[in-house]
Structure 1
Amino acid sequence: MTNRPPSEPESSQRTALGFDEFIAILVAFTTIGAILFWSLSGRDSSWNLNGLLSPSSTPSRSVQPNQVLPFPTSKVEPNAAPNNVLPSSPPEAVGEPNTPALPTNSATSSGAVLPSVQVIPTQSPQPSVSSSAGLESSITSLALPLVTPAKQKSIIPPPIAFNDVPNNFWGRRFIDVLSSRGILKGFPDYSFRPNQPVNRAEFAAILQKAFEQEPSKTAIAFQDVPAKFWATSAIDQAISAGFLKGYPKKTFKPQQNITRVQVLVALVSGLNLKASTSQNQILSVYKDVKDIPTYATSKIAAATANGLVVNYPNPQILAPNKVATRAEVAAMIHQALVKRGKLQGISSQNIVRLGSVSPKLSPTPKQNLKGNLSTGG
């Protein structure tokens, strides 16, 4: 008997099993390749479950989990218009375009899953979220703001209500006009101190604010006015404009109180005012004409003729050598600004006007001349 090798009954079985495995692996790779090819070549990466569940329903784009789409977006073909052109009007919200239903065919009826159909809208592409926000911000920044006509405000602020200037005070109206324009100011305790004397340095500062004088180019170095004195520039401007003059030995005496006659002489000199009628006839309105200094008679006549003199309580009493108070300086500065056309005149019984004095209280020109000769005025 010849020895034969033992038969291998399992070899045929292993061969059949290996073939099945090969077929299964081939089918699996084919299926995976088909899926990858379909997913890469398709225009939408999402599965169209609506088409699988209801082939006859209208396909719509599915939204992946945890994905928020604030605005409906659509795919743009490579040949679409670029998004870097600003539209002529702000972008408006665009709705989802209506897509036709998929026609049913043998493939769908047999249960095969068709990829979702991508519908390309015919309208211009919608910008992305970031570009849309940037576009809206740029349009907002380029838009011109609406300008509504505002109510015209008063150029002149209301006057300061000083606690020591009552409504019935004789100089209240003069003070109100000047305080509202910043020519005269009060004190930190909201007082004006109308009866307080005015010195020469303070008067120079008032002249500077009232007449807006040009800065002095040639300043006089007064021995009693330090370079860092608070009123140095005002004094220089008052000197250069012709309102004030110094004293001998290059002194100005800034702390010396100024008198009423000196205030009127300074205003007439700075404004270059003249009297159009007889000096003696004009000065005859004052009962104390004899008290007017000789050097100031022509200036006082010019001040009276131009309406600068304000006397309280009696218009016929000039009191030329009396120290001027803050209220009196305010009244005379006001009248000087009225003469220059900067302010409107106000009615006051304390303003001396030619022809307004009662004849029986006024001396005749002959009597006045006799008085001047007897007093040396």
Structure 2
Amino acid sequence: MTNRPPSEPESSQKTALGFDEFIAILVAFTTIGTILFWSLSRRDSSWNLNGLLLPSSTPSPSVRPNPVLPSPAAKVEPYTVPNNVLPYSSPEAVVEPKTLSFPTNSATPYRAMLPSILVIPTQAPQPQTPVSPPTELESSLKSSALPLVTPAKPKSIIPPPIAFNDVPNDFWSRRFIDVLSARGILKGFPDYSFRPNQPVNRAEFAAILEKAFDQEPSKTAIAFQDVPTNFWATPAIDQAISAGFLKGYPKKTFKPQQNISRVQVLVALVSGLNLKAPTSPNQIISVYKDAKDIPPYAIAKIAAATTNGLVVNYPNPQVLDPNKVASRAEVAAMIHQALVKRGKLPAITSPNIVRSSPKISPELPQSPKTPTPKAKLTTGGSPQQ
């Protein structure tokens, strides 16, 4: 007879949960839920729920809650309470968070001991204050007491004068040359020299006039026989003729290479500026020791140049030397004075500027034997405007 292994005991059949046990569990959960709801609904209660659930002990410094605050820019989704979670408090019963105590020696997991610290907002975020449109901002600025500042136009900056190597600091015409060279009216030579004592011809003088007085382009040009169309100074000559500074010679000649004299420079400036001649020109020019050398056609013009401060004589202010060829330094001084008269440049003080103030009594007739009184010569001042 074969021995059979003992048969395994049959597993006992699980007994279903009884009605009494189900009622006991339901009562227990209801009691716990009631206690939680009552503790959370008390606004000013000092009773700590954690003290009821957890034994008081020294909190561990290494374990700190890390609250997660909702981002103000993030979109908050409405929170749906699951069926197996107890209901939370209403918006009117929000409890301020308090310091929680944690046990150091506890086998209970951290998440099982503490309630959720994630704060879910139950109210819609408050609408932000609308920003006033730019039109309201502009109107408020206009109505304010402080006036609006309008940016000023940029001022023109004059470059420094050219430091010519042949014009020393004590040169008599240095200040006139510096003012004109800084504004580009007069230029030097490629070797950084100015050559102040070099003569000036009529074509060069016309080019200086063009840069100094900003003349309008000539509408009617004279076709001089000795001025080619492609000549470098043809535009300047045409403008000097049309503006009334210079005139040609008979037979439609201009003589561009002819050196210009001092009296011709003064006559050209008086004509171009349209200065009126004084009533007693002979008495005005009597301030010069060499007045007899002035050509008859230029007496009235030289008198007008003298009364308006255009005459600059070096080294002796009483010597005009009218028929002398004008140098570059002398032309610079006279052009400067003409620009002062027109109001383009400020006046400077120089002992070489001639300014006369005649003292003549028009009521008393002059005796034929009485010598003609000379005008009083003063130097160093600016011209009378």
Same fold (TM > 0.5): yes
Per-residue Cα deviation, 1:326-361 (whole angstroms, up to 9, x for no partner):
0000111122122223333333332222259xxxxx
- AA aligned opposite 1:282: I
Equivalence for 1:221: 223
Equivalence for 2:298: 296
Measure the CA separation in 2 of the matches of 1:181 and 1:123.
73
Deviation at 1:109, TM superposition (A): 6.2
RMSD (CA atoms): 4.7
- AA aligned opposite 1:304: T
1:1-377 → structure 2 map (5 Å cutoff) = 57-60=63-66, 76-78=74-76, 111=109, 118-119=118-119, 155-355=157-357, 364-365=371-372
Measure the CA separation in 2 of the matches of 1:364 and 1:153.
55
Measure the CA separation in 2 of the matches of 1:220 and 1:337.
27
Measure the CA separation in 1 of the matches of 2:107 and 2:65.
16
Deviation at 1:196, TM superposition (A): 0.8
Query: Alignment partner of 1:168: what SS?
Result: coil
Per-residue Cα deviation, 1:4-34 (whole angstroms, up to 9, x for no partner):
xxxxx9xx9xxxxxxxxxxxxxxxxxxxxxx
Query: Alignment partner of 2:354: what SS?
Result: coil
Per-residue Cα deviation, 1:147-166 (whole angstroms, up to 9, x for no partner):
9x99x988444433322112
Identity %: 75
Deviation at 1:61, TM superposition (A): 8.6
Alignment size in residue pairs? 269
Measure the CA separation in 1 of the matches of 2:275 and 2:295.
18
- AA aligned opposite 1:76: A
- AA aligned opposite 1:77: K
Deviation at 1:78, TM superposition (A): 4.8
Deviation at 1:206, TM superposition (A): 1.4
Deviation at 1:220, TM superposition (A): 2.8
Measure the CA separation in 2 of the matches of 1:267 and 1:227.
26
> Which range is displaced more, 319-328 or 304-313?
304-313
Measure the CA separation in 2 of the matches of 1:154 and 1:351.
29
- Confirm or deny: 8 A CA contact 2:290 2:321 kept in the other structure: yes
C-alpha change, 1:366 and 1:100, in structure 2 (3 Å) is closer
Measure the CA separation in 2 of the matches of 1:339 and 1:75.
73
C-alpha change, 1:73 and 1:262, in structure 2 (3 Å) is same
C-alpha change, 1:117 and 1:366, in structure 2 (3 Å) is closer
C-alpha change, 1:364 and 1:159, in structure 2 (3 Å) is farther
Measure the CA separation in 2 of the matches of 1:110 and 1:314.
118
- AA aligned opposite 2:226: D
Measure the CA separation in 1 of the matches of 2:193 and 2:120.
82
Measure the CA separation in 1 of the matches of 2:178 and 2:242.
29
Measure the CA separation in 2 of the matches of 1:180 and 1:123.
73
- Confirm or deny: 8 A CA contact 2:224 2:254 kept in the other structure: yes
TM normalised by structure 2 equals 0.56
Structure showing greater radius of gyration is 2
- Confirm or deny: 8 A CA contact 1:279 1:298 kept in the other structure: yes
Deviation at 1:322, TM superposition (A): 1.5
Measure the CA separation in 1 of the matches of 2:120 and 2:325.
97
Deviation at 1:364, TM superposition (A): 4.2
Equivalence for 2:144: none
Query: Alignment partner of 1:353: what SS?
Result: strand
Measure the CA separation in 2 of the matches of 1:231 and 1:184.
15
C-alpha change, 1:226 and 1:101, in structure 2 (3 Å) is farther
C-alpha change, 1:226 and 1:117, in structure 2 (3 Å) is farther
Measure the CA separation in 1 of the matches of 2:329 and 2:227.
26
Deviation at 1:311, TM superposition (A): 1.6
Deviation at 1:75, TM superposition (A): 8.7
Long gaps (5+) in structure 2: 9-59, 79-95, 126-148, 359-369, 375-385
Query: Alignment partner of 2:315: what SS?
Result: coil
C-alpha change, 1:75 and 1:109, in structure 2 (3 Å) is farther
- Confirm or deny: 8 A CA contact 2:278 2:300 kept in the other structure: no
TM normalised by structure 1 equals 0.57
Measure the CA separation in 1 of the matches of 2:111 and 2:309.
108
- Confirm or deny: 8 A CA contact 2:220 2:242 kept in the other structure: yes
